[in-house]
A and B are shown apart, each in its own frame.
Chain A
Amino acid sequence: MKTFRMGGVHPEENKISTHAVIEQMPLPKQVAVLTSQHLGAPATPVVAKGDKVKVGQLIAEAQAFMCANVHSPVSGTVNKIDICKDAFGLTKTAIYIDVEGDEWVEGVDLTPDIKRECTLEPKEIVAKLKAMGIVGLGGATFPAHIKYSIPEGKKAEYLIINAAECEPYLTSDHRVMLEHAEEVCIGVSILRKALGVPNAYIGIESNKPDCIAKMTETARGFEGIIVEPLKVKYPQGAEKQLINAITGRKVPSGKLPIDVGCVVSNVGTSFSVYEAIQKNKPLVENILTVTGKKLPSQHNYQVRVGITYNDIIKHALGTLPETTGKVVSGGTMMGKAVCNLDGPTTKGASSVLVIDEGEARRAPETNCIRCGKCMHACPMGLEPYLFSALVKNGRIEEAGKHNILDCIECGCCFFSCPANKPLTDEIRLGKNKLRALMAAKR
């Protein structure tokens, strides 16, 4: 079975919500839709206070290059456009909408019928992805229309669909593949057409045999979709690692996947591409796992963007267990602790992970013993212990010479460190400082 060559770790999988069928989360009373839910510049609001909006109506438009449209996830009245504290307490601009009913804009196909034929030309597909505000749902929320506009002089050879879901706890992609296999395959075919590549590869880790079976069977009905079972190893779902696992190619330092002829998308993105292109449904919903070892029940929900974490917790669990130590958005390896539960979810939110007190705290840090485990674990072939020392001593440019910017922040070094040194944190700090230095020089 294939896997990536360098580094990687095996965190405890804890996929305890695998069997929870995707449920529909009821609409909240009010949503706060952030204008910045993607990588890049925030979108510009095009509605004003008091406007009536329908579900799927454009409420903030992408005006910069690196930006994505934002649509209303609910129908109702715009209450205000104001600053809003997101889940991490950081201030962002948000459009607050009071929910009234659930009326969709015209043209959206809400029937469960599956529509297979797509007659659009590649350019039209990309334009529609832009109009529908599709972003990558694998974590980075990269605007899809930019990814699928291949720059001049470069050629895509492979379309790779990331269905590895290597993060512990997360099961939203797993459920999407089981429940919407055909839609995902249609979405993949559309993306394949947009790129004009002969084959698309869906990489699934072997800890999901039911998904591999289901997807292989469904893919038989489609041309050029190959399901590739992968050996379980974290971070298989990282773009560069997945390319290495499936094609054997290595993305050089500072280059993008397209430089080695690859385009990688998430399986959740393929599903939203299907809904956008075939059903005219903009990206206003995402699938989110609510899970935790000590929780009485595990869930997978389809939720509207802009609902608060508290709303989700209230519906799914009533209240948080008393022994809760941390609520994490994302998986345990790369996710971020939520410090403001009143903050709204965004397009890229993939989970509400409730960690028990006993597991939430970091173990005390001790000194580096030069064991080199972090180097062995690093999937990018970097030297985390060295970055740690350089960043601490302010030798940021030297760290840059050792390719600190290649770090994908997967957390393998911190995970494997016997001294519990916060290596990933230090590297992130170093990257931030180096970027600031480079910006100042320019």
Chain B
Amino acid sequence: MTSTILTAVLVLGAIGVIFAVVLYFVAQKFKVVEDPMIDQIAEVLPGANCGGCGKAGCRALAEAFVKQGNMEGLRCPAGGDAVNNRVAEILGVAAEASEPKVAVVRCKPDCGGNALRNSYDGLQDCAFAHSLYTGSTGCAFGCLGLGSCAAACQFDAIAMDPEKGTPVVDEEKCVACGACVKACPRGVIELRNKGNKNRRVYVECINKEKGAAARKTCGNACIGCGKCAKACPFEAITVENNVAYIDFAKCKACRKCVTECPTGAIRDVNFPAPAKKPEAPKPAPAPAAAPAPEAPKPEAPAAN
């Protein structure tokens, strides 16, 4: 009886020892060393896996950070400076200060009041409609209004305006991950600097057609006249392919271009309401005169 037990213990013990030795060597051979920093960084990242950084998810970005050892060209757009500063801390590099960005829709709502020439009732997907035809006023560049950007947004920051047909970005919620930029088949949406006090100026049109043709499709289209570029004291505006573009890195938001634009294609946002009209009655600085024109003004910025 005792010998049976003893044999069993010895045999099983021997097998155990053999396996232990084999497993030890196997473990040595196939050892995976993971930098603990990856876990630390992954913990700091938002964990929404939005893909805004261009990686497969937050952990993939963390791995890329550690592999590269610095933050050049890598950034969590959704996390903003708070997250990126902490990542820099963990990596032991200086945090790159970056301007907070926001998604901006570069297409005028309402097609500048132009009548719609046709209607589309096919598959409600912008990429598909884009492959079929131009759009309801014939503009081959502007927003198709089917809401693929709104569907792509993981942060509920874009909604379609049912009346005007273009997307509206909620500045508070937008983290500038760029998902909408990728979803738009026409490249209407751009990530731009939020600007000082959230004030920014941009050309609300990307129509590359010549002036006359562009105006036929949209009353507010940029016609590439170049007046804004001449008016700009900071050389922030370039006109290429019949359309103006404001470089947000150079723009100081002086708004000289806004008043210069003959078609109203340049838009300024978040500027205080009265600042807009005093330019016309400039020579009349009388304080008594100011309140009078102010009355109709609140409507104008609201429409903007």
Contacts and interface: CB of A to CB of B under 8 A. Distances in A.
Interface stretch (A18-26, A306-314, A371-379, A420-428): A420-428
Interface string B106-127: 0000000000011001110101
Interface stretch (A29-37, A83-91, A164-172, A285-293): A83-91
B140 A90 contact: yes
B181 to A, nearest CB: 16
Given A90-B133, A362-B121, A425-B122, A85 B138 contact: yes
A340 interface: yes
Contact of B121 (A89, A90, A91, A361): A361
A14 interface: no
A429 interface: yes
A89 B127 contact: no
Given A362-B122, A422-B122, A429-B123, A88 B134 contact: yes
B123 A89 contact: no
B123 A85 contact: no
A6 interface: no
A336 interface: yes
B55 to A, nearest CB: 16
A323 interface: no
B193 to A, nearest CB: 29
A429 B122 contact: no
Given A91-B140, A422-B122, A425-B122, A432 B135 contact: no
B127 A336 contact: no
A339 B127 contact: no
Interface in A340-378: 340, 361-362
Contacts of B98: none
B19 interface: no
Contact of B118 (A90, A339, A422): A339
A426 B123 contact: yes
Contacts of B133: 88-90, 337, 339
Contacts, number: 46
A91 B210 CA distance: 13
Contact of B131 (A337, A339, A426, A432): A432
B128 interface: yes
A361 B125 CA distance: 17
- Chain B interface bracket (under 10, 10 to 19, 20 to 34, 35 or more): 10 to 19
B132 interface: yes
A433 interface: yes
Interface string A405-433: 00000000000000000100110110011
A190 B138 CA distance: 44
Interface in A141-171: none
B140 A339 contact: no
A112 B127 CA distance: 49
Contacts of A432: 127-128, 131
Would you call the interface of chain B mostly helix, strand, loop, or mixed?
A: loop
Interface residues of A, number: 18
A141 B133 CA distance: 19
Contact of A339 (B117, B121, B123, B128): B117
Interface string B130-153: 011111001010000000000000
A422 B134 CA distance: 20
Contacts of A429: 123, 125, 127-128, 131
Contact of A336 (B117, B128, B132, B140): B132
Given A88-B134, A90-B133, A361-B121, A425 B140 contact: no
Nearest to B117: A339
Nearest to B123: A425
B135 A89 contact: yes
A340 B138 contact: yes
Contact of A88 (B121, B122, B123, B132): B132
B47 to A, nearest CB: 20
A353 to B, nearest CB: 16
A339 B117 CA distance: 8
Contact of B134 (A336, A340, A362): A340
Given A85-B140, A339-B117, A429-B128, A90 B134 contact: yes
B128 A85 contact: no
A231 to B, nearest CB: 32
Contact of B138 (A337, A339, A425, A428): A339
B245 to A, nearest CB: 20
Nearest to B141: A91
B57 to A, nearest CB: 15
Contact of A89 (B125, B128, B131, B140): B140
Nearest to B134: A89
Contacts of B118: 337, 339
A207 B140 CA distance: 42
Contacts of A433: 127
The 10 closest A-B pairs by CB, nearest first: A89-B134, A425-B123, A429-B128, A422-B123, A339-B118, A88-B133, A339-B133, A362-B121, A89-B133, A425-B122
26 contacts: A85-B134, A85-B140, A88-B134, A89-B134, A89-B140, A90-B133, A90-B140, A91-B140, A337-B133, A339-B133, A340-B134, A340-B138, A361-B121, A362-B121, A362-B122, A422-B122, A425-B122, A425-B123, A425-B125, A429-B123, A429-B125, A429-B127, A429-B128, A432-B128, A432-B131, A433-B127
Given A337-B118, A422-B123, 20 more contacts: A85-B134, A85-B138, A88-B134, A89-B133, A89-B134, A89-B135, A90-B134, A336-B132, A337-B133, A339-B117, A339-B134, A361-B121, A425-B122, A425-B123, A425-B128, A428-B128, A428-B131, A429-B125, A429-B127, A432-B128
